[in-house]
Structure 1
């Protein structure tokens, strides 16, 4: 593998979280010294910080806007939304978090009957006039990047509501850590949403599995469901299952 190609792949691994030199050497079938040289090169050019036995990005990855995320992995998100829809019973009360994959699920709800609580601003025009939907929108500070509300007001409002099921996304999902997010306000609201729902569903395509690109975390409950696509890292899925998660793999048409 050419140096430039290997370093590009190594940088992609770093965007998902801290890497271990020996693990990367086995993955790329190169020596540990070659990986260390690559990391020194990236440290000079890409803002990488060496750690004991590995490396991590110095700065969290830039947060993509909702509009940008809507253009990525569309077929996978649609498949995940259909699989999530199959988990619903008539008249379930729902918490719908902000995010492009949850929005794909919301589009499938317009002819159904549900009570919905959400912090997603893009769901308001989508569901407000749906005859069977009773919609509640959480107040709070508006995050233009994610087209959502968050902050103290949103958390306090969420504490006063319970629901049968929560459907949430994340910047990344990591076994033993939980959901990673770009801001502490987002992480706090997700944690509160999980506490207020009887059942928790995390909708995350394969690119989000084992990705630790941000520094703020919301821990997952003892029992929850991951809905992802078949390209998800199987070792990571096994680690989720060992922690008590149910795994649903959505078929992409």
Structure 2
């Protein structure tokens, strides 16, 4: 019965991608504690990723397409973006990494009068090119090979442009976060651009929603101690968050509306 229930939980995640403990408890007519034990075991087997109050299907190292990712966990990304924008001041120079969590910052930047922004994200660059909203901004799009699935540039030319600049603050993203291994990308192709970004910035802030914590991806690009701050959402499992805090990593957790 227990094995069957856990198998059915995985089947439910195949269909829904994300489930909550109350939903599963009602579906299987068992207690919340029973479901928590099921989810803990499935996470230990690498089949799911826990967050506070539920679980998501574990992603593979190859990320989903941009449009799909942009429509996932919008509330969490918006909360992270709003908090991240509090670190920005008028007149600053910024690097915005390629990714949907960082792209969510664009709306939060509209309140500023003057910023210099460099990005590899084509979607972010397009939004920032809106004259009515961001006419006083100085925006640079780092050239290079275009990743069609990610709507961004990468490779040596993007790295050279970013490496030739010095900025106040960089906001980075990742595909996985491990307290033991650090921040990871789905491909080694992305490592150079992100490492160059971090070298160019006076301060580096990692933006990662709660579903990215606690598992591995293919390519490590930075240790967590290399970031000045790590911002995530309050759906991060409390026990998981404690692991990062006890390790001394600068973790900021924001509520989700």
TM-score by length of 1: 0.76
Give the direction of change, closer, same or farther, for the CA distance of 1:93–1:243 in structure 2 (3 Å limit).
farther
| Residue segments in structure 1 that go unaligned for 5+ positions in a row | 13-25, 47-56
| Residue segments in structure 2 that go unaligned for 5+ positions in a row | 14-35, 48-57
Deviations 1:36-72 (A, max 9, x none): xxx7xx9xxx9xxxxxxxxxx9x94442011001111
After TM superposition, list the pairs within 5 Å mapping 1:116-195 onto structure 2: 116-128=117-129, 129=131, 130-195=134-199
Partner of 2:218: 215
Q: 2:231 aligns with which of 214, 218, 227?
A: 227
1 CA distance for matches of 2:167 and 2:161? 13
Deviation at 1:232, TM superposition (A): 1.1
2 CA distance for matches of 1:145 and 1:184? 16
| Conservation of the 8 A alpha-carbon contact between 2:62 and 2:187 | no
Give the direction of change, closer, same or farther, for the CA distance of 1:4–1:158 in structure 2 (3 Å limit).
farther
Deviation at 1:27, TM superposition (A): 4.6
Deviation at 1:28, TM superposition (A): 3.9
Deviation at 1:180, TM superposition (A): 1.6
Partner of 1:249: 253
2 CA distance for matches of 1:67 and 1:29? 29
Name whichever of 180-189 and 141-150 sits farther off. Answer: 180-189
1 CA distance for matches of 2:140 and 2:65? 24
| Conservation of the 8 A alpha-carbon contact between 2:61 and 2:187 | no
Name whichever of 216-225 and 120-129 sits farther off. Answer: 216-225
Deviation at 1:217, TM superposition (A): 1.3
Partner of 1:22: none
Give the direction of change, closer, same or farther, for the CA distance of 1:126–1:239 in structure 2 (3 Å limit).
same
2 CA distance for matches of 1:64 and 1:170? 13
Deviation at 1:245, TM superposition (A): 2.9
Alignment RMSD (CA, Å): 2.9
Partner of 2:71: 71
Q: 1:101 and 2:101 equivalent?
A: yes
Deviation at 1:219, TM superposition (A): 1.3
Deviation at 1:89, TM superposition (A): 1.8
1 CA distance for matches of 2:39 and 2:191? 37
